[in-house]
């Protein structure tokens, strides 16, 4: 039985075209006089996002960290949505490495409350407040099950930040999913932020890498911080080549991942409406709530594993499923069948548990 892996879109394998371009890539030394293939990826990323320049980094985490180091002065305050990936999953690099304090702003589906955001802004170090050094957004929003920030919200945050002279960085690990869902060129999304970091390693299927894009002067300064944290790429063209193919050929197909996520969500909802809130499925992430089943996420994961379906825990009673290039309609059907089997097993086991 082949295993269906729904844990993440980072499980995507490079395409044949990527492997060919990687093999044939012209290489240089990116931190000396440049690697031509890295340069091509950076130029392509900048052109697509409507920014002046781009900088290749190994990961989304590194891109976000370099953005924090570049934009904000040590000791400053970063404002960002309370469940941002930067806070949940990036191990406190914001404080430990960038030397920044942060204030989580409560949000709805990943969108910060604008009133609370504005109230939290401070122009500079004051008697009782740290100066705001940076505002961060995240789209699509991982914790909010892949929610897409509305463009009006992004525009409002950007305008607010500008009024107060604060730069804006966006964690756009799945920026292209957001653009595809909104049906707009990615530059329309990126227009509402000073810098954005997106990953080519997720649904876009390249094996490694992210690109931080923004104004030329900001990106030049960012290069120094990338070097400082060990992110010099040297002959990086070998991996950048896959990123170029990702941007050239893999963006439009993200709509397929959104369609399979819908199919998956509807299938699970039909088994038990408590499992999935259909209105929360916007892109390629589906959160499954196991609470009503009386079973933990860990119990579901173990039982689904037995059925050949791998899933990941998001919390004690939430699973996160992510659709990607290797999950077609047949894989979704098999996954839904596995969920139905497990749901039935748990339902049958429940009276016995109560009797004990
Ligand atoms: C929203 C978001 N930001 C940043 C990252 C970090 O990317 P990486 O794993 O490349 O460091 C991820 C990874 O899943 C993510 O989902």
Asked if residue 326 has pLDDT above 90, the reply is yes
CA 293 to chain centre: 29
**Domain ends where: 206, 233, 249?**
249
Q: Of 2, 11, 1, which is closest to residue 324 (Cα–Cα)?
A: 11
Each residue's pLDDT tens digit, 242-286:
999 999 999 999 999 999 999 999 999 999 999 999 999 999 999
Pocket lining for ligand 1, CB < 6 angstroms: 59-61, 85, 138, 142, 171, 173, 199, 201, 210
285 and 226 both lie in a single domain: no
Instruction: Round the average pLDDT of the chain to a whole number and report it.
Output: 96
Q: End-to-end CA distance of the chain, in Å?
A: 35
Q: Best mutation site among 56, 61, 170 for ligand 1, i.e. most ligand atoms within 8 A of its Cβ?
A: 61
Q: Is residue 223, in this structure, part of any structural domain at all? A: yes
Average pLDDT over residues 160-180: 98
| Gap between the Cα atoms of 201 and 265, Å rounded | 24
Q: Best mutation site among 60, 139, 140, 142 for ligand 1, i.e. most ligand atoms within 8 A of its Cβ?
A: 60
Structural domain harbouring 237: 12-249
228 and 154 both lie in a single domain: yes
Partners of 77 in the β-ladder = 101, 132
Number of domains into which the chain is organized: 2
128 and 203 both lie in a single domain: yes
4 within 8 A of 232, measured Cβ to Cβ: no
Instruction: Please enumerate in sequence order all residues whose Cβ is within 8 A of that of 20, keeping only pairs 6 or more positions apart, or say none.
Output: none
Q: Is residue 27, in this structure, part of any structural domain at all? A: yes
Which atom from ligand 1 is nearest to the alpha carbon of 64? 4
96: phi > 0 → left, psi -120 to 50 → alpha, else beta; which? alpha
167 and 86 both lie in a single domain: yes
Q: Is residue 3, in this structure, part of any structural domain at all? A: no
Q: Of 276, 294, 279, 50, which is closest to residue 184 (Cα–Cα)?
A: 50
DSSP letter assigned to residue 213: E
Beta-sheet pairing, 132-138 with 111-112: unpaired
**Domain ends where: 224, 249, 274?**
249
**Domain ends where: 217, 249, 281?**
249
Each residue's pLDDT tens digit, 51-62:
999 999 999 999
187: helix, coil or strand? helix
199 and 332 both lie in a single domain: no
Q: Is residue 1, in this structure, part of any structural domain at all? A: no
CATH number at residue 292: 3.90.1150.10
Which atom from ligand 1 is nearest to the alpha carbon of 61? 11
Q: Is residue 88, in this structure, part of any structural domain at all? A: yes
215 and 267 both lie in a single domain: no
Partners of 138 in the β-ladder = 171
199 and 309 both lie in a single domain: no
Each residue's pLDDT tens digit, 63-112:
999 999 999 999 999 999 999 999 999 999 999 999 999 999 999 999 99
209 and 339 both lie in a single domain: no
Q: Tally Cβ neighbours within 10 Å of residue 103.
A: 17
232 and 295 both lie in a single domain: no
CATH number at residue 244: 3.40.640.10
346: helix, coil or strand? helix
Q: Quote the pLDDT of residue 125.
A: 85
167 and 195 both lie in a single domain: yes
18 and 156 both lie in a single domain: yes
| Gap between the Cα atoms of 273 and 67, Å rounded | 41
Taking CA atoms only, the protein residue closest to ligand 1 atom 5 is 60
């Amino acid at each position: 039985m082949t295993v269906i892996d729904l844990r993440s879109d980072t499980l995507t394998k490079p395409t044949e075209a990527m492997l060919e371009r990687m093999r044939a890539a012209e290489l240089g030394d990116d931190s000396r006089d440049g690697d031509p293939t890295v340069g091509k990826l950076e130029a392509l990323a900048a052109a697509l996002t409507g920014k002046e320049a781009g900088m290749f980094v190994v990961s989304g985490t590194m891109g976000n960290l370099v953005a924090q180091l570049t934009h904000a002065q040590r000791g400053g305050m970063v404002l960002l949505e309370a469940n941002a990936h930067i806070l949940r999953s990036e191990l406190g690099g914001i404080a430990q490495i960038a030397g920044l304090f942060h204030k989580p702003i409560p949000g709805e589906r990943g969108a910060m409350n604008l009133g609370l955001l504005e109230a939290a802004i401070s122009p500079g170090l004051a008697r009782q407040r740290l100066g705001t050094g940076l505002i961060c957004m995240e789209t699509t929003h991982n914790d909010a099950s892949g929610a897409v920030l509305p463009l009006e919200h992004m525009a409002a945050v950007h305008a607010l930040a500008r009024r107060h002279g604060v730069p804006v960085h966006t964690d756009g690990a799945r920026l292209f999913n957001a653009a595809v869902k909104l049906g707009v060129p990615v530059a329309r999304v990126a227009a509402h932020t000073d810098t954005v970091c997106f990953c080519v390693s997720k649904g876009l299927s390249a094996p490694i890498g992210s690109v931080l894009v923004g104004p030329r002067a900001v990106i030049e300064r960012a290069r120094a911080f990338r070097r400082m944290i060990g992110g010099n790429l040297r002959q990086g063209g070998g991996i950048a080549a896959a990123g170029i193919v990702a941007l050239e050929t893999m963006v439009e197909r993200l709509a397929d991942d959104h369609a399979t996520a819908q199919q998956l969500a509807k299938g699970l909802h039909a088994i038990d409406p408590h499992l999935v809130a259909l209105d929360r499925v916007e892109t390629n992430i589906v959160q499954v709530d196991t609470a009503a089943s009386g079973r933990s996420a860990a119990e579901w994961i173990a039982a689904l594993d037995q059925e050949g379906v791998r899933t990941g825990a998001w919390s004690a009673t939430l699973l996160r499923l992510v659709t990607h290039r290797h999950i077609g309609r047949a894989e979704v059907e098999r996954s839904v069948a596995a969920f139905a089997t497990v749901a039935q097993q748990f339902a049958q086991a429940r009276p016995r548990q109560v009797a004990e």
